[in-house]
Amino acid sequence: MPSTLLPSRTSADRAPGNPGLPVPDPEQWISTTSSRIAPDPYTWLQAVHWAHDTGTRTPVRSHGPRFGTTTVLLAQQLAQLNPCRPGVDFLARVLKVSVRTVKYHLALLREAGLLAYRVKGTRVRQERARASEFARTIPVSFDQALGLRTAPSDTFIRAVVGISEQGRTQLARLGKKAARTVRRKVRKTKRPSFSGSSDCTPMEGGSCTASPAALTSSPSEGEPRNGKPSSAPTERRTRKTLNAVGRRYQLGLELVRQVPWLAGTPVARVAWAVRHLADAGWTAHEVIAVLALRAPSDRIHRPSGFLTARLVGTELLFDTPAKRANLVAWWRDSRHAARERHAEWSSSWSAPRSNAVARLVRDAFTAAKRQRQLVELPPEPTDSEHAEIRTLAWRQYLAGQPELVASAVVLAGRDKAAQIYGADLVERVVRLTATTSHLTAGATR
């Protein structure tokens, strides 16, 4: 960020020993900061506790938190990171605070000179957000307050070369705080006491009516007394009543489950189609009875639109519970309605409208057709191929390998094998397999 946008303020312009004076935005970068880089997390936590103890709580804005315990807890988490590149979501989850609170306290550490940007986080479109990377720094006011003498350093901007006697004692005290873990205080609620008052002494004729038995607590109403269960009524959880929108969705869900040609239709559309009937107190059986007055179409493109057209003016025609009860009774007793209830709804198949689904259907049909082609038997061999097959079988038989003809006899039968290899060869192979195992065809012993 250019320094011309905000007025720059150097360390000489600040009041010494006043950590509450915020560091301006142009000096919150590692290239422009007047603070020195902390050599280790332990030393940096000493500076954080010093800033907390010396009152870095001067309000710098009209809203938001102040430098306090949450800031120290955040600093403890930052001290464990190497490199110090935290995500605000991670810190909020660990500290159990909001993301806005984490951002506030990170700003407090930067304004106190305890953090400086190395790389500022950015958000790039279609990419993951990048967290900021910080350098843990120690402000000049800390060195001045503890009497630390520093000298220029290539690694830490400034390095400590000496310390005063008073600063040693204060630094040791800060070291004890940095070594222990700070925890958030848990508020304990004071439980009411049911014991009797000790100031009240029972006196004869006095106004105090407390008795020595006041220390004894009364038995619970739910506990049995004298071996008998308590007669106190038990509270039962009452079911919530549905509002108008809930009744519409409930009726739509029942129709989707019970009407075959509504299967797969979004419940919200069916609920909108039957909204007038649901408001009038109709049940799913009454709606199905109305739909049974006319048989459904053979081909329904939009079930929700078809349902809306069928139910137009129905709530005005059957406007009393008695009319609807008679309609349901007719529907249950009608043979045609019973046959429709037990018969599965069928319609001619239509190609899907979605291009992706249509592509899947075409691929499925292509794969099934290819599989049928593979299963089909090859065509019958020609006369020349038949002669070659018989010649090959004779050669294998004379070489002492009758397995080809023998397997054909086992798998296809003797008659089919005779048609392929000839009756003479099949007879020889069958006779050979029936003899003893020491005989070998086509070989001399």
pLDDT at 374 (0 to 100): 52
Q: What pLDDT, in 10s, does the model give residues 97-151?
A: 999 999 999 999 999 999 999 988 877 666 677 888 899 999 999 999 999 999 9
The count of C-alpha atoms lying within 13 angstroms of the C-alpha of 22, restricted to the half-sphere facing its C-beta, is: 18
Say how far apart CA 48 and CA 78 lie, in whole Å.
11
- Backbone φ, ψ for residue 105 (5° rounding): -75, -30
Residue 414: what pLDDT?
85
pLDDT at residue 44 is higher than 90: yes
Q: Cα 206 vs. chain centroid, distance in angstroms?
A: 69
Q: What are phi and psi of 133, to 5 degrees?
A: -110, 130
Predicted local distance difference test score (pLDDT) of residue 190 = 57
Residue 281 has pLDDT above 60, yes or no: yes
Q: What is the DSSP letter of 64?
A: S
What pLDDT is stored for residue 4 in this prediction? 34
Comparison of pLDDT for 70 and 183, the residue scoring more:
70
Mean pLDDT across the stretch 294-321?
Answer: 84
The reported pLDDT for the residue numbered 6 is 33
Q: What is the pLDDT of residues 228-250, one digit of tens each?
A: 554 555 556 666 788 889 999 99
Helix %, strand %, coil % for the chain, to 5? 50, 5, 45
Q: What is the pLDDT of residue 134?
A: 92
Of the listed ranges 32-36, 246-250, 337-341, the least confidently predicted one is 337-341
pTM for this one? 0.41
Provide the percentage of residues in the chain whose pLDDT is more than 70: 70
Tell me which residue has tokens 């046959």: 339
What pLDDT shows up at residue 208?
Answer: 44
Band of residue 386 on the pLDDT scale cut at 50, 70, 90: confident
Parallel/antiparallel/unpaired status of strands 115-119 and 36-37: unpaired
